[in-house]
Amino acid sequence: MRVAFLVAPEGVEQIEMTDPWEALTATGETPQLISTRPGSVQAFHHLDKADTFPVDQTVAEASVDEFDALVLPGGVANPDFLRLNRDAVAFARAFFDAGKPVAAICHALWTLVEADVVRGRRLTSWPSLRTDIRNAGGEWVDEPVVVDQGRDRPNSLVTSRKPDDLKFFDEAMLEAFAGAPGTS
């Protein structure tokens, strides 16, 4: 299974990217780092610079048809940059239109709010996004992980609040991705 990790050139919370990445690779899956610019992305540990990671493909070059699932890591700056990029927003929305599973953690829900895909969904995020999600028509709950199957766009949406919830997020993500139509 090919899984796209969509991140901005800087601002992704490193653990929210590397932990799900490692969970997927441990099961033999093939994650690909997609960003708005080629080169590398600068990850962060909260507000401090952390490691850099090579970009596999830009979002303008990538096609949803190449991937089975999407992961949106958080970090405050990362989804704020992504939601201002038309190609990134369209790429995220296309996974919903195609009925493919999506997993998003922490502030990553901002990208999904911008993509207008949270309406009618039950989900969670970092608490400061609660009002944004409710204003976009989503039902925000304070739980470690939420899996919503959708009604209008029937795909699995796995959401989680923060790095402390990564164990639950990874388990739910792996289960949702394994059960998706067309995935192995």
* Model confidence pLDDT, tens digit, residues 40-49: 999 999 999 9
Give the CATH number for residue 112: 3.40.50.880
Stretch 159-178: mean pLDDT, rounded?
Answer: 97
Stretch 62-85: mean pLDDT, rounded?
Answer: 97
Predicted confidence band of residue 152 (pLDDT cuts 50, 70, 90): low
Tokens of 4: 């796209």
CA distance 65 to 53: 24
Stretch 136-157: mean pLDDT, rounded?
Answer: 90
In a domain, 183, yes or no: no
Range of the domain at 162: 2-178
Q: Has residue 113 got a pLDDT over 70?
A: yes
Mean pLDDT (the chain, rounded): 95
pLDDT score, position 150: 77
Please name every residue paired with 102 in a beta bridge, in sequence order, or none if there are none: 70, 157
pLDDT score, position 115: 98
Per annotation, catalytic residue among 83, 100, 107, 153:
107
Stretch 112-116: mean pLDDT, rounded?
Answer: 98
Per annotation, catalytic residue among 17, 23, 106, 109:
106
- How is the beta sheet containing 2-7 ordered, strand by strand? 57-58, 30-35, 2-7, 69-72, 102-105, 157-160, 145-148
Q: Has residue 17 got a pLDDT over 90?
A: yes
CA distance 173 to 26: 13
Please name every residue paired with 122 in a beta bridge, in sequence order, or none if there are none: 139
In a domain, 53, yes or no: yes
Total number of residues shown for the chain = 184
Tokens of 151: 């009604």
> Catalytic: 106?
yes
In a domain, 18, yes or no: yes
In a domain, 124, yes or no: yes
Q: Has residue 84 got a pLDDT over 90?
A: yes
Nearest 5 degrees, angle CA 151-CA 181-CA 107? 60
Nearest 5 degrees, angle CA 57-CA 19-CA 79? 55
Predicted confidence band of residue 181 (pLDDT cuts 50, 70, 90): low
In a domain, 82, yes or no: yes
Q: Has residue 74 got a pLDDT over 80?
A: yes
In a domain, 141, yes or no: yes
In a domain, 145, yes or no: yes
In a domain, 79, yes or no: yes
**How many structural domains is the chain composed of?**
1
| Strand, coil or helix: 101 | coil
